Chain A
Amino acid sequence: MLSRAILTGQTSRALLALGSRTTSTSAANNQSASDAPQSQSKLPRPVRQEPGKVRYAFIPEEWFQFFYKKTGVTGPYAFAFTLSTYLVSKEIYVLEHEYYSGISLLIMWIVGIKKLGPKLAQYLDKEVDAYEAGWQESRNQEKQVLEEQIADEEKGQWSVEGQTLLMQAKRENVALQLEANYRERLLAAYNEVKKRLDYQVEKQNIERRITQRNLIDWVVARVRASITPDQEKQNINRCIADLAGLAKA
């Protein structure tokens, strides 16, 4: 029940207004800015006024302007004079002891204001200027810091773009390394296979040679074993006969 009462009607509006008032010095982060951001810029903001014009240090200028339209310049003075004459002569305004102490006080005030006023005004103006300059300086410093941060951020983004270039170059480098490694391995595999094939060829050649020699040895041995002493004798005889025939010729 209580929460519903808070959420409805005047109270919520007051809360909203309170939220917008607490941050009313800065236009950017306003409570009502989040509610109606598009209308925020058009809303009228109160501006600090110039001090109202006065005569004789405190009587508003509007008082004299009010008389000026009807009576001219001397009107307000004539009015004040005649009214005070009437009040004093009828003793509606009573000139008792406080009146005279008031006059002496007024004289002291006038002298004090005339003597000290300009100096005090000068000093206070200087203080106001210093105060405002201090705020302005901190504002400018804040602005400068934020601008530097923005510049740093932009530079960071730029350097990150450079990082992508660097990354691309690294990728190409790695690809080159991979290619070189691949070719190296390819060559190694080729060499290994060739070595084994050469070995096989050499082995086959040797085996064939050994087999051939063994066969020849075996055949020669058998042939020699098959030759009988008769055959040898016949052969020698035949050789001698051939030699004789050759000698004849």
Chain B
Amino acid sequence: MGFGDYPIEYNPNVHGPYDPARFYGKPDTPFGQVKLSELGSWLARRNKHPSAFAGAVSRAYWRWQHKYVQPKRAGIAPFLHVVFGSMAVFYVLNYGKLTRHRNYKYH
């Protein structure tokens, strides 16, 4: 599977038009329903190839797009998501410098 290809499991005669937010592989147990004892085997079953990570991020992005950006009467929520998300990202990036501004020596 190279760049720009569809997932291997995707078959247009079965699935219809391609939905970038959909996972076409065989679904595993959702993470929220995994028991702690099964967590190790659940993690071992994950596909850890970089393209799988990229696919997961892409699907999440498109899920967010379909839910907040693409609707007919979308509100201001997606813009604020971007604003607050970038705030958090840059706070993390600059955290090493920001800690210099601490006021108290002892907690």
- A contact residues vs B (CB 8 Å cutoff): 10-11, 13-14, 16-17, 20-21, 24, 31-32, 35-36, 39, 43-46, 48-52, 54, 57-58, 89-91, 94-98, 102, 113, 117, 121, 125, 128, 132
Which chain A residues lie closer than 8 Å to B4 at the CB level?
A: 14
Q: Whole-angstrom distance between the alpha carbons of A128 and B75 in the complex?
A: 13
Report yes or no: B15 in contact with A44, Cβ–Cβ below 8 A. yes
Q: Which of B6, B16, B80, B81 contacts A44 (CB 8 A)?
A: B16
Q: Which of A14, A20, A50 contacts B71 (CB 8 A)?
A: A50
Tell me which of B1, B16, B18, B76 has the highest count of chain A C-beta atoms within 10 A of its own C-beta.
Answer: B16
**Interchain nearest-CB distance for B13 vs A (Å):** 5
Q: Which of A17, A57, A90, A94 contacts B80 (CB 8 A)?
A: A57
Report yes or no: B76 in contact with A51, Cβ–Cβ below 8 A. no
**Interchain nearest-CB distance for B77 vs A (Å):** 5
Main secondary structure of the interface of B (DSSP, over half): loop
Given A13-B11, A125-B73, are A49 and B18 neighbors across the interface (CB < 8 Å)? no
**B74: Cβ under 8 A from any A Cβ:** yes
Which chain A residues lie closer than 8 Å to B74 at the CB level?
A: 51
**B8: Cβ under 8 A from any A Cβ:** yes
Given A10-B1, A57-B76, are A17 and B12 neighbors across the interface (CB < 8 Å)? yes
Tell me which of A52, A91, A98, A113 has the highest count of chain B C-beta atoms within 10 A of its own C-beta.
Answer: A52
Report yes or no: B107 in contact with A90, Cβ–Cβ below 8 A. yes
Q: Interface residue count for B (Cβ, 8 Å)?
A: 37
Q: Whole-angstrom distance between the alpha carbons of A36 and B16 in the complex?
A: 11
**B103: Cβ under 8 A from any A Cβ:** yes
**B101: Cβ under 8 A from any A Cβ:** yes
Report yes or no: A51 in contact with B16, Cβ–Cβ below 8 A. no
Report yes or no: B99 in contact with A17, Cβ–Cβ below 8 A. no
Given A17-B10, A91-B102, A91-B103, are A48 and B15 neighbors across the interface (CB < 8 Å)? no
Q: Whole-angstrom distance between the alpha carbons of A57 and B74 in the complex?
A: 11
Which chain B residues lie closer than 8 Å to A96 at the CB level?
A: 98, 101
Q: Whole-angstrom distance between the alpha carbons of A24 and B71 in the complex?
A: 18
Report yes or no: A54 in contact with B101, Cβ–Cβ below 8 A. no
Q: Whole-angstrom distance between the alpha carbons of A24 and B19 in the complex?
A: 11
Report yes or no: B6 in contact with A91, Cβ–Cβ below 8 A. no
8 inter-chain pairs at a CB distance below 8 angstroms, sorted by A residue, are A13-B6, A32-B13, A39-B13, A43-B17, A48-B70, A57-B77, A57-B80, A58-B76
B1-27 CB mask vs A (1 if < 8 Å, else 0) is 100111010111111111100000000
Report yes or no: B68 in contact with A52, Cβ–Cβ below 8 A. yes
Q: Whole-angstrom distance between the alpha carbons of A60 and B65 in the complex?
A: 14
Report yes or no: B12 in contact with A94, Cβ–Cβ below 8 A. no
